[in-house]
Structure 1
Amino acid sequence: MASTSKTILVMSDSHGDRAVVQELKDRYSGKVDAIFHNGDSELDSEDPIWEGIQVVEGNCDYYGNFPASLKVRMGDLTIAQTHGHLYRINYTWQNLDYWAQELDADICLYGHLHIPDATVRGKTLFLNPGSVSHPRGMIREKLYALVTITDDLFHVEFYTRNHQLYSPLTKDFPR
């Protein structure tokens, strides 16, 4: 059987910076299999920018009607997406982990913390791309993530707003 590969772009917490969402959409549309925004865009859900982007509501999204979470199927891959605040990600992993298990998610995307992270728990890759506008924590770069998924690997790369690889966070995880 031939090996298959998919690549997704993940951004979060753009906080009113429509230009960065548009720039990433323009740069990666047609080059990745899917684009995700994990909430706190502070843009209207009716904005045409969202065409072709999977987007969820964050705690600062007051304009329109974004879904609180999504379950996206890409072939045999299940991606769970949420902002994270409703699962109290500031305080515990347990709620987000349980939700991902309930959905049998291969990947669980979240934001809210503004801190980039990629880790595997059980069979699920948990990915927070950080914030493309307002980073927090020890890593002060404005980041987004690209994830390449093969039959046996998750390859995670983080990029700066200037589209430069932020190599200290590059990770490979077996599937």
Structure 2
Amino acid sequence: MANYTLIVMSDSHGDREIVADIKEHYLGKVDAIFHNGDSELPSSDPVWEGIRVVAGNCDFDSGYPDSLITKFPGLTVAQTHGHLYGINFMWDKLDLFAQEADADICLYGHLHRAAAWKNGKTLFVNPGSVLQPRGEITEKLYAKLDVTDDKIAVSFYNRNHQLYPALSQEFSR
């Protein structure tokens, strides 16, 4: 039985305080916390203890991996920033990355736009940016994923940990 709660943030661009706040709010209460890159913080920063973090195009510290695959019993999560997969122009390379990982969920950032969509068996989630949102949604957001055997509920929250309901969705597994 797969029941997991995941927190996903991205594109904090030097705002260490929001990373620490989200971590403090959820650490020990969820199964994993992810940061999809462009933190602009040193990879050795203690804030990363307990957070799975990847490199973004604005992270020049070589201590970050370009991607991570996290496996839980009954759930595989592929994570990357997205810039190395050309997501500004097409989704094919990111989709191939997810397929090669046999991912149930593929986390990405880079675009600063909150989104959740499914292709094949994989749910793709961009939590938006906790500092610099782009596009029609101007709220600074992160995502919470509640995973069961049957579905994945994706909810977006603002920096005050309040639900932003307009984007929340459920996807069958």
TM-score, with structure 1 as normaliser: 0.97
Q: Which residue is equivalent to 1:174?
A: 172
Q: Which residue is equivalent to 1:8?
A: 6
Q: Which residue is equivalent to 1:23?
A: 21
The Cα shift of 1:11 comes to 0.1
SS for the counterpart of 1:57 is coil
Structure 1 residues not aligned, in runs of 5+: none
Q: Which residue is equivalent to 2:79?
A: 81
2:34 to 25, 36, 45: 36
Pair 1:138-2:136 in alignment:
yes
SS for the counterpart of 2:21 is helix
Q: Equivalents in 2 of 1:135, 1:169: separation in Å?
A: 14
> Do 1:44 and 1:64's aligned partners in 2 also have CA atoms closer than 8 Å?
no
Q: Equivalents in 1 of 2:66, 2:150: separation in Å?
A: 30
> Do 2:5 and 2:31's aligned partners in 1 also have CA atoms closer than 8 Å?
yes
Q: Equivalents in 1 of 2:72, 2:47: separation in Å?
A: 22
TM-score, with structure 2 as normaliser: 0.98
- What is the number of equivalent residue pairs in this alignment? 173
Q: Which residue is equivalent to 2:158?
A: 160
Structure 2 residues not aligned, in runs of 5+: none
Which residue identity lines up with residue 42 of structure 1 in the other structure?
E
- Divergent runs of 4+, >2 A: none
SS for the counterpart of 1:49 is helix
Alignment of 1:26-65 (within 5 A): 26-65=24-63
Q: Which residue is equivalent to 2:109?
A: 111
Residue deviations 1:113-164 (CA, integer Å, cap 9, x gap)? 0000000100000000000000000000000000000001000000011111
Residue deviations 1:48-104 (CA, integer Å, cap 9, x gap)? 111110000000001341000000001121100000000001000111001101110
> Do 2:2 and 2:74's aligned partners in 1 also have CA atoms closer than 8 Å?
no
The Cα shift of 1:5 comes to 1.3
Q: Equivalents in 1 of 2:57, 2:3: separation in Å?
A: 33
